[in-house]
Amino acid sequence: MSDSAYKVETTSRLAQWRIENLASCTYRKSDPFKMGKWNWHLSVEKNRVLLVKLYPEISNLTRDNPPIASYNIRVVCSAGDRKALTHPEITDRQLKNSDDFVWQIEVPLTGKFIIDVEFLDLKTTSPEGGEPCSIWAEGSAKKQSNATALVSLGRMLTESIHTDITINASDGSIGAHRAVLAARSPVFQSMFAHDLKEKELSTINICDMSIEACQAFLNYIYGNIQHEEFLVHRLALLQAADKYDIVDLKEACHESLLEDIDTKNVLERLQSASLYQLPKLKISCMQYLVKFGKIYDIRDDFNVFMQCADRDLIAEVFNEVLGAWKGF
């Protein structure tokens, strides 16, 4: 049997194990695959029923800090109409060994099938105690803006200390500081260095952003953004980062958008990846749709998307689909 028979493919928070055939009375365990801080295994055992298990690899990390997982898991017949068997959503289940999650499937399965696991969250408990914390809630935005060193700068914005320029959003205005904006963005620096209307009038019009998104944009620039605020406004922040050439914000948005691709947002993110030239996000969205077969789950939305998308992007999607047809 080839090594690929045990390999689990992963992207973002999704893992898929493709099984060509499972004879009666057999057992198979996947190769380890990385998700979050842990290595994981899937296993199947077929006798009178099919048993599917998901568990972390035994290690010091698992013993000392076992994952608390929320996920959706299903088995998809990869031929014909791709019939799927779906387990009820698992929420905040601690997994230490191979007996902590066992799914007993009594429906007979033959031929090729896929075990599909979509991780919704992974939490750990702190050695000091307290409530479990999501490992994906730490966020790159906070790390890249070093809040402890920028407390006073944040106060300048929140308390409007000596603001000298006004930013007009689509539905409101915010005071800011030329020096801070110029230091963070070469586009703002150019505005203030030349005799442009922004320099003369002491205003900047950002009419394509709401006041809430604009506030989040400034909060990031000043090192004062909160993780939830960052998540809510990621796409608007990505647009602003591209427009004003703030490289670290664009990368923070890029990395964050990679983390939670799902059927509700994959098409929007694919469009953004193409528009703002985000190669990793584009590849991940393509894999999610084509390699992992999610294109079948959103056929209607995908058809609408294909009628409106850029021609070059449509061509890339079709090339990906044709490549997949040659494979599995």
Are 174 and 206 in contact by the 8 Å Cβ rule? The answer is no
- Three-state secondary structure call for residue 191: helix
Are 157 and 70 in contact by the 8 Å Cβ rule? The answer is no
Asked if the structure places residue 235 within a domain, the reply is: no
Q: What is the DSSP string of 214-256?
A: HHHHHHHHTT---HHHHHHTHHHHHHHHHHTT-HHHHHHHHHH
Task: Region of 38 please: left (phi>0), alpha (psi -120 to 50) or beta.
Answer: beta
- Three-state secondary structure call for residue 132: coil
What is the domain-level CATH number for residue 12?
A: 2.60.210.10
Please give the structure tokens belonging to residue 177: 């500081």
- Residue 145: the pLDDT is 44
- Residue 260: the pLDDT is 93
Q: What is the span of the domain harbouring residue 17? A: 8-128
Asked if the structure places residue 65 within a domain, the reply is: yes
Asked if the structure places residue 115 within a domain, the reply is: yes
CA dihedral 140, 145, 146, 148 (to 10 degrees): -120
The total of structural domains in the chain comes to 1
Asked if the structure places residue 233 within a domain, the reply is: no
Positions in the chain short of pLDDT 70: 1-3, 24, 79-81, 127-129, 137-150, 195-200, 324-328
Are 220 and 256 in contact by the 8 Å Cβ rule? The answer is no
Asked if the structure places residue 44 within a domain, the reply is: yes
pTM equals 0.75
- Residue 213: the pLDDT is 97
Please give the structure tokens belonging to residue 101: 């999650």
Asked if the structure places residue 271 within a domain, the reply is: no
- Residue 147: the pLDDT is 45
Asked if the structure places residue 160 within a domain, the reply is: no
Which of 165, 168, 144 is closest to 222 using CA atoms? 144
Asked if the structure places residue 51 within a domain, the reply is: yes
* Reduced DSSP (H G I as helix, E B as strand, rest coil) percent helix, strand, coil of the chain, to 5: 40, 25, 35
Neighbours of 74 (CB within 10 A): 15
